[in-house]
Amino acid sequence: MTSRLNYAQQSPELFKKLLDLSMALKDSAIEQTIHDLIHIRASQINGCGFCLDMHVKEAKIHGESELRLHHVAIWRESTLFVPRERAALAWTEALTTLTEGGIPDELYERVRGQLSEKEVSDLTFSIMVINAWNRVNVAFKTVPGSADKAYGLDKAGLN
């Protein structure tokens, strides 16, 4: 696969703003494990090879088990995720695949049963950001693994 263009070079100011928002989310009310899981799930749904590759490697570096990484795609059937993670994954899927009817109240109430209002808000911003990254990387065919050295992802040992 060949990348179409380097959006960071073409639109450096906009790239930096999105990157700044991504970095701000590292200090959010949502723990790193959930960030990793939702980034992986949204990237799977959106078919973003670059982001999926990146976030699987990041999760591995953060200590995530390989089996749980394999189970993200089947999280509903898996017994490896706690209710809080399940709520975050359900919210991720709903926001990533918005339907004509919007987000059902039942889902919101289920998510609120596991996360505070602040956490739901921060989680929603994190989902928004990964969807933005997915869209730009899909649009410009960013090659999976092409930034491993720059982002330290070669340390994941998954090459």
From the list 62, 35, 42, 17, the residue with the least C-alpha distance to 122 is 35
Q: How far apart are CA 146 and CA 159, in angstroms?
A: 12
What tokens were used for 136? 């730009």
- Domain 12-141 falls in which CATH fold? AhpD-like (1.20.1290)
Q: Would you give the DSSP letter of residue 107?
A: H
CA separation (Å) from 90 to 13, 98, 153? 33, 12, 27
Count of residues in the chain: 159
Q: What pLDDT sits at residue 158?
A: 83
pLDDT tens track of the chain, all 159 residues?
Answer: 789 999 999 999 999 999 999 999 999 999 999 999 999 999 999 999 999 999 999 999 999 999 999 999 999 999 999 999 999 999 999 999 999 999 999 999 999 999 999 999 999 999 999 999 999 999 999 999 999 899 999 899 886
Q: Give strand ranges (E) for the chain.
A: none
For 91-106, give one letter per residue: b (16+ CB within 10 A) or e: bbbbbbeeeeeeeeee
